Amino acid sequence: MEEPGTVYFTGTAGAGKTRLVQAYQSWMKSAGYDAITVNLDPGNESEKFTPDVDIREWVRLSDVMDEYGLGPNGAQVAASDLIAIRIFEVKQAVQELKTDYVLVDTPGQVELFAFRESSKAIVDALSGDRSAIAFLFDPALAKSPSGFVSLLLLSATVEFRFRLPMVNLLSKVDLLTPEQREEVTSWGDDTEQLLAALDRDAPTPDVQLSSETLRAISALSPLASLLPTSAEDGRGLESIYQAAQRIFGSSEDIEPSQAPPEDP
């Protein structure tokens, strides 16, 4: 059997990772694909989310806090190391489910995921040759030009660190007006538009830092276009699938009629 395609969903706290993983799994199932969800967040308390493989069976944030006398953030760091030690058991649980696609929800502390050695070890151990990262741009941050640049920097950091193909998503797009959505996606397509938007803001140190950061990032890698998505109304879920297929290099394609409308 071909190895499953694995997509890690990451992004800042509250960007919509957990709901998107669930919505995307439902969409995949309704389109006839076999996908499982894996929760890698030891502190995930969402009662509505019942992942197929749950890291909390091995490591639970509340237990780590009690056992080591740590607060929630210190416990996330310790938990990440504990997860790295048990990751091959998690991998085995995933393999036993014999699926085509694995959708992985990651902890909200994106700096933990992006910077700690243990998360690199976790991703390396879980990933086969067909793996990608979906980075969520939260519209609450992405709708301001300097917030957008901060997310670009974070996304580029994740990309350089994991060296996996990336798909950048604009999440919760149902919360933006059509004009806002167009403006934000245009920044992802065109550095000049984003620089112009920064120039329109007052020249505070924050805006100057963003302009210089943007110049540095765009010299390193071309800007990534954002796919607008919504777990609320199902927009863009098919585009995630298509982007993943391009990355995984499969010729298999879907009938457009099976999918919900892209832009209701």
User: Which chain residues interact with Mg ion by CB under 5 A?
Assistant: 17-18
Distance of closest approach, residue 20 Cβ to ligand GTP, in angstroms: 6
- Residue 216 binds which one of Mg ion, ligand GTP, none, with CB within 5 to 8 A depending on kind? none
Which residue, 31 or 77, is less far from Mg ion as judged by CB? 77
Burial of 92 (0-12, 13-18, 19+ CB in 10 A): exposed
Binding mask 9-48 for ligand GTP (x = CB under 6 A): ----xxxxxxx---------------------x-------
Instruction: Tell me the closest approach of the beta carbon of residue 9 to ligand GTP, in angstroms.
Output: 8
Minimum gap (Å) between residue 15 Cβ and ligand GTP: 4
Q: Which is nearer to ligand GTP, 18 or 168 (CB)?
A: 18
Q: Phi/psi of residue 226, each to 5°?
A: -100, 135
Residue type, 206: D
Terminal-residue alpha carbon distance, the chain: 37
Interface with ligand GTP, residue 231, by CB under 6 A: yes
Under 8 Å between Cβ of 167 and 227: yes
Cα(138)–Cα(148) distance, integer angstroms: 9
Gap between the Cα atoms of 93 and 71, Å rounded: 29
- Integer angstrom CA distances of residue 8 from 19, 144, 170, 199, 240: 13, 26, 15, 34, 12
Cβ-based nearer residue to ligand GTP, 37 or 211:
37
230: contact with ligand GTP by CB under 6 A: yes
Residue choice 3, 63, 124, 232 for contact with ligand GTP (CB under 6 A):
232
Of the two residues 6 and 39, which places its CB atom closer to Mg ion in the complex? 39
Distances (CA, A) of 42 to 7, 57, 63, 152, 157: 18, 9, 10, 26, 23
Task: Choose the binding region for ligand GTP from 28-36, 123-131, 227-235, 243-251 (rule: CB under 6 A).
Answer: 227-235
Nearest-approach distance from CB 23 to ligand GTP, in angstroms: 7
- Cβ 251 to ligand GTP shortest distance, Å: 30
CB 223 within 8 A of CB 189: yes
Residues between 138 and 197 that touch ligand GTP (CB under 6 A): 171-172, 174-175
What does the alpha-carbon distance between residue 212 and residue 150 come to, in Å, rounded to a whole number?
12
Nearer to ligand GTP, 129 or 263 (CB): 263
What is the C-alpha separation between 75 and 64, in angstroms, rounded?
Answer: 6
Q: In the bound complex, what is the minimum distance in angstroms from residue 115's beta carbon to ligand GTP?
A: 16
Query: Cβ(210)–Cβ(150) under 8 Å?
Result: yes
Instruction: Give the footprint of ligand GTP on this chain (CB under 6 A).
Output: 13-19, 41, 108, 171-172, 174-175, 230-232
